[in-house]
Amino acid sequence: MLISVNNLSKTNGIKNIVDNVSFSIEETDKIALIGINGTGKSTLLKIIAGIETYQGDIIQKKDLQISYLPQNSDFNSNNTIIRQVYDIIDQNKVNEYEIKAILNKLGITNHEQLIKELSGGQQKRVALAITLLKPCDLLILDEPTNHLDNEMIEYLEKYLIKFNKAIFMVTHDRYFLERVTNKIMEIDRSKIYEYEANYSKFLDLKAKREEEALASERKRKLFLKKELEWVRAGVQARTTKSKERLQRFEQLNSVADIQTINQVEIINTASRLGKKTIELKNISMHYDNLSLFNNFSYLFKRTERIGILGVNGCGKSTLLKIIAKELKPSSGEVIYGDTIKIGYFKQMSDDLDENVRVIDYIKQTSNNLKTLEGNFSAKQMCERFLFDSNLQHAYISRLSGGEKRRLYLLNILMQAPNVLLFDEPTNDLDITTLAILEDYLDSFNGIVITVSHDRYFLDRICDGLFVFKNKQITYCNGGYSSYVNIDDKSSKTKSDGAFKYKVQKKLKKLNQIRLSSKEKQELESMESIILDLEQQVEILNEQMNEYQNDFKKLTELSNQRDNLTEQLEIKNERWLELLEKQEKSQN
C-alpha cells in the first residue's frame, strides 16, 4: 500500500469538499477521480500531493516519491525550456536524451525557447514532460489531456497503459477512462465511492448503487410511516421492547433523506435558421512566411455537425475565428445567410471579466430570455446551470475552472445562436455536463462546428470532419473512430463507443417506457385508495382503544388492522412504482 487515507475532511470557506472519508492507493492502482465541477477534485489531488491542508490522517509508505501535474504550472517565465526542466528534475537521475526525447514527442522541439514565449498549451506540455520524467511511485495528473492534440493524447494513453507505477488523476476524457483506469473514485456530496472498474463498468455499478440507495430510501420512508402510526396510537404500558422500537424509530427518522443531484438544464434557445447558411469560397490563410491552409471551399448544411482535427498549430482555431468574423482570410471569402447568428465558445474564455459577479455577467446578455418553454430571467437561467443564490453573487474569480467554463457556455447559449462554434468545449467541463451538452446538441436546430481533441465527444456529436494535413483541409465522412489518421501512418479504426451510444440512445427513445392507459387510471385513483385505507386503519385504532378489555374483540380488530396495513404497504409500493414509471416516461 502506498497511501492510506483515514477520516479525511476538507472545507474551503463554506464549501465542504470531503467529509470524513477513507480510502487507500495501492502500488498497481490506476485511479480516476471524477465528479461534477466544483466538488473539489483538484483540491483532493493537492491534498494527496502534500500541497493542501486537511483534517484526518494520511499515512504514506516510507520514502514515497510523488510526481504531480497541476492544472496550471508555476514556471519562471525567463527560463529556457531546458533550464526549467533542470530546475525541477535532478540531472543525475534522468539522462538528457530522455528529456529531449519526451519533449520532442510532446511537440516541444526548440529546447532553448523561453517559457514566456510559449502558449498556455505549450507550457502545459512542458509541465507534462517534467511530470512524466520525474522518478516516482505515484503519478498525480490533473487534466493531463487538456491542450494536447489527438496524436499526443494517444501517445500519453499508451504511455500510461504501460506505466508500472500507481496513477491518481482527474480527467474528463472518457476513452482515457475506459482504456487506462482500473479503479474509479467518485466525489458525490462530500463522500467518496470506489468502483473497481473502468468507465463503462463504472456507469453500470453507479446506476446499480443509486438504484439500491433509492430502493432503501423508499422502504425506510414506508417503514417510518407505519411506525409513526404506531407512535401516535399512544400504546399503553410501554414495555422494554416498545422502548427499543421507539428508539429505532427515532434513529431511522434522524437519517437524512437522499438528496437528488441537480443537473444542468439546457433550454433550446436557438434562433430560426433560414435556407441560406454559411459558404466558404476558396479561403486561404497565411502569416508572413507561414502557410496554414489553401483554397478550401465548403457549403454548410442546415443541421450539420462538423469536427475539426489536426496537429497543434495547423490552423484549426484560426478557421473558427474566420467563420466567427474575428479574422479575415488571406484570400477567398465567407458568405453568410441573412438569418445566421453565431455563438462562439472560445478555448480560453477570454470574454470572462473575473471582477464581475456571476449574475451581473449573465444580465449583460439578457435578463428576460424568450424561449419556446417560456420567458426566463438571468436568475432562473443561472439556477438551471447550477449557480445557486450564493454562487450568483460571487465574483467570477472565485469559481473553479469548470464552473467558469459552464458560466461561459450559459452566456453563449443565452445569445440564442443558430450556429455554434466550439473551440475545445470539453476542457474543464465535467462528464455529467458534457453528456447533457451532447444530448442538447442532438436536438439543436442549427449548425455545430467544433475543434476538439476529445475523441468520445467527436464520435458522439459529429457526422463529418475537416482534417488538416499538409496545409490542406479535407472533408471526411463520420466521426473520429472512422476517419483516416491525420499523420502519414496507415489508417486505423478505433472502438466506436460513442457511436454505439448514439444508436442505443435512438433505440431507447423508440422503446421508451410509457404508462399504459390502464396504469394511468390506476395512478389517478391510487391516492384516494391509499387515503381511504389510512382512514380505515385509523378507525380501527380508535376502536381497539375502546375495546382494550375485550380480548376477543381486540384480537378481531387487530387482525383486521394487520390485513389493512398489509394492503396499504402493497398500495404504497405500487404507487411509488407507477410514479417512477411516469417520471421516466416524462423525461
Residue 181 pLDDT > 80:
yes
Which one is predicted more confidently, 233 or 50? Answer: 50
HSE (side-chain half, CA atoms, 13 Å) at 463: 11
Give the per-residue pLDDT at 551.
66
Overall average pLDDT of the 129-148 stretch: 91
pTM score of the predicted model: 0.66
Please provide the CATH number assigned to the domain covering 278-503: 3.40.50.300
Overall average pLDDT of the 444-470 stretch: 90
Which one is predicted more confidently, 427 or 297? Answer: 297
Give the per-residue pLDDT at 492.
42
Angle at CA of residue 380, ends 305 and 344, nearest 5°: 30
Kindly state the helix (H) or strand (E) to which residue 464 belongs, with its residue range.
strand 464-469
pLDDT, tens digit (0-9, with 9 covering 90-100), for 77-88 = 899 999 999 998
Residue 452 pLDDT > 50:
yes
Length of the chain: 587
Q: Which of 61-65, 89-93, 501-505, 514-518 has the highest mean pLDDT?
A: 61-65
Q: What is the mean pLDDT of the chain?
A: 83
Q: Which of these, 480, 211, 467, lies nearest to 316 by C-alpha position?
A: 467
> What dihedral angle (degrees, nearest 10) is formed by the CA atoms of 553, 554, 557, 561?
-170
> Over pLDDT 90: what percentage of the chain?
34
pLDDT, tens digit (0-9, with 9 covering 90-100), for 183-204 = 999 998 889 999 999 888 888 8
Q: Which of these, 278, 290, 360, lies nearest to 320 by C-alpha position?
A: 278
Q: How far apart are CA 211 and CA 329, in angstroms?
A: 54
Overall average pLDDT of the 53-58 stretch: 93
Q: How far apart are CA 309 and CA 149, in angstroms?
A: 8
pLDDT, tens digit (0-9, with 9 covering 90-100), for 216-269 = 767 666 666 666 665 566 554 444 445 555 565 566 555 555 455 566 677 777
Q: Which of 62-76, 339-353, 489-503 has the highest mean pLDDT?
A: 62-76
> Over pLDDT 70: what percentage of the chain?
84
Strand order in the sheet with 66-69: 66-69, 138-142, 166-170, 30-34, 183-188, 191-195
Band (403; pLDDT cuts 50, 70, 90): confident
Pairing relationship of beta strands 3-12 and 15-25 according to DSSP bridges: antiparallel
212 has which bridge partners?
none
Band (370; pLDDT cuts 50, 70, 90): confident
DSSP, collapsed to helix, strand or coil, labels residue 469 as strand
Give the per-residue pLDDT at 257.
53
Give the per-residue pLDDT at 239.
47
Determine the residue type at 86. Answer: Y
pLDDT, tens digit (0-9, with 9 covering 90-100), for 566-581 = 888 788 778 777 777 7
Q: According to the CATH classification, is domain 3-204 in 3.40.50.300?
A: yes
Q: Which residue reads 450539420 in cell numbers? A: 304
pLDDT, tens digit (0-9, with 9 covering 90-100), for 466-504 = 999 889 999 998 888 776 444 434 444 444 556 555 555
Give the per-residue pLDDT at 308.
93
Give the per-residue pLDDT at 548.
67
Pairing relationship of beta strands 55-60 and 3-12 according to DSSP bridges: antiparallel
Give the per-residue pLDDT at 484.
45
